[in-house]
């Protein structure tokens, strides 16, 4: 239930194609499968945890650098890894 898209989300654009929010996790539709993710932001530090269960892939990006969003870094990494399969 934590990773099932139970609640509709509007205006969430951290990752594309967000389809809902479970109990603590957002779900997006990417790579022809569900992608489970969440972000955090506190005092100049940002993070994202992105999971693609079908691929058994988890990407965690932690950042304190201005100008780069961890969500875009995580999707760049997942794009690269999944294009090489």
Other CB atoms within 10 Å distance of the CB of residue 1: 8
**Total structural domains in the chain?**
1
- In terms of residue numbers, what domain contains 71? 18-83
Residue 1, domain member (yes or no): no
Question: pLDDT by residue (tens digit) across 7-54?
Answer: 666 666 666 677 777 777 888 888 888 889 988 888 888 999 999 999
Global confidence as pTM: 0.78
Q: Is residue 55 a part of any domain in this protein?
A: yes
Helix (H, G, I), strand (E, B) or coil at 68: coil
In a domain, 6, yes or no: no
> DSSP assignment of 17-77, as one string?
TEEEE-SS-EEEEETTEEEEEEEEEETTEEEEEEEEGGGTEEEEEEE--TT--HHHHHHHH
């Amino acid at each position: 239930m934590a990773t099932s898209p139970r609640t509709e989300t509007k205006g969430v654009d951290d990752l594309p194609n967000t389809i809902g929010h479970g109990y603590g996790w957002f779900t997006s539709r990417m790579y022809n499968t569900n992608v489970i993710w969440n972000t955090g932001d506190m005092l100049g530090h940002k993070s994202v945890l992105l999971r693609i269960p079908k691929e058994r892939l988890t990407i965690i990006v932690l950042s304190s650098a201005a100008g780069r969003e961890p969500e875009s870094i995580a999707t760049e990494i997942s794009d690269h890894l999944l294009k090489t399969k």
